[in-house]
Chain A
């Protein structure tokens, strides 16, 4: 009877800790999302345009309207960054940049809708310079060592990376890749020179 009592207390503690951990991550993600949604909005006149953003590691936002996907883009793809958004792979192009933009996201959170992605869907990358439009060309499943998917191609591109299979429990053995290309090197509604 006493053992069952201890077991019950242990289970309550463990359960509440796990749920609390998930809730904290959820709140963090929501906060990052809120910050990302402010990117691209006109700055108040009293704030200098060169002033650093409130959260230095949120560099923009990704949107795929057809999948109702909207997620913050963080400056790196470390564990913490991937909990709060989609991670930009340093060394790849910046949103709208001349090169290949590499973004990685969790298949069980921000990039979960990618399982329904299809060719010709529009992808928007929004950063402080404006909104850039990409169009999905293709998808592929590759092994984790195939880093060539991030190489610079003959035109500016976007590569989205997430783990595959989507329903795999644990460390998935493959990677799901989405290839898209940039429509215009000039952002929407913003002067070319910032």
Chain B
């Protein structure tokens, strides 16, 4: 009975399409480029490189590109995107239009993979790509989550970064009710909102009442009281002077 169960489980694993379609857990590929190309955070000069998946997480993968010369070691995020048409052969997928005159890689298709892994760009680069390509561009903004630049992010940080999709849409003043002057802008929406517990950035909302009005009031009252005392003293003095004059 146990043997039958084992055989059943093994056959399930063997014929499960997802297991085969996903390919190896950490696929790798060598590639050569002849023109400068951008990947998230880095410009690859013509030369030979390797790309491999460092880690697979629930909604994202961590990728690493190393140059054969050893001068480039870049780690960045990618998201499996089944909507991108798979190329005929494994290799890079490029954005249709260059951004700011530069060629950006859209993603990578690993041999035997079920989908193209789309690269997640830092905000400024993603804005440039979204401006010249009619598509949703995956983006991260580590600086807005209290983190430093992508190249120095740890894998733990990469797991926690919020993913966004940037696209060129009419999101200008039309949102404020003025449809006539609407202009194309870069709209940002959160990629996925998984039920994760967000760590609060502060323990309590700031206390924002200054003591300046009280200090000002205290100073004003003090000056007023001092002036009053001076007036009293002056009137007393003048009364005494008058009294002494009368006596004389």
Q: Which residues of A contact B (CB under 8 A)?
A: 1, 4-5, 7-8, 11-12, 14-19, 21-22, 25, 77, 82-83, 87, 89-94, 97-99, 101-102, 104-109, 111, 120, 122, 135, 142, 144-156, 161-163, 168-172, 175, 181-186, 191-194
Contacts and interface: CB of A to CB of B under 8 A. Distances in A.
Given A19-B216, A191-B100, 7 more contacts: A1-B236, A11-B223, A22-B212, A98-B140, A148-B200, A152-B162, A163-B209
B57 to A, nearest CB: 18
B173 interface: yes
Interface of B: 99-100, 123-125, 127-128, 131, 139-141, 143-146, 162, 164, 166, 171-173, 175-177, 185-190, 193, 198, 200-210, 212-216, 218-226, 229-230, 232-233, 236
Contacts of B124: 192-194
User: Which are the 6 A-B pairs with shortest beta-carbon distances?
Assistant: A18-B219, A97-B144, A184-B185, A15-B222, A93-B144, A91-B201
A13 B156 CA distance: 58
20 contacts: A11-B223, A12-B222, A12-B223, A15-B219, A15-B222, A19-B216, A21-B219, A93-B144, A99-B144, A104-B206, A107-B209, A111-B208, A144-B205, A146-B205, A147-B205, A155-B188, A163-B209, A170-B209, A175-B208, A183-B173
A22 B166 CA distance: 46
Given A91-B146, A152-B190, A192-B124, A19 B204 contact: no
A163 B47 CA distance: 58
Given A22-B216, A144-B205, A182 B188 contact: yes
B72 to A, nearest CB: 19
Contacts of B224: 15
Contacts of B139: 98
B153 to A, nearest CB: 15
A155 B189 contact: yes
B94 to A, nearest CB: 18
B223 A183 contact: no
B206 A94 contact: no
A147 B203 contact: yes
Contacts of B193: 154
B49 to A, nearest CB: 22
A50 B183 CA distance: 31
Contacts of A111: 208
A93 B141 contact: yes
B219 A14 contact: yes
A56 B8 CA distance: 66
A147 B223 contact: no
Nearest to B226: A11
Contacts of A94: 143-144
B201 A161 contact: no
A68 B189 CA distance: 30
B190 A154 contact: yes
B210 A106 contact: yes
Given A93-B145, A109-B210, A21 B215 contact: yes
A161 B206 contact: yes
Contacts of A170: 209, 214
Contacts of B127: 185-186, 192-193
A77 B205 CA distance: 11
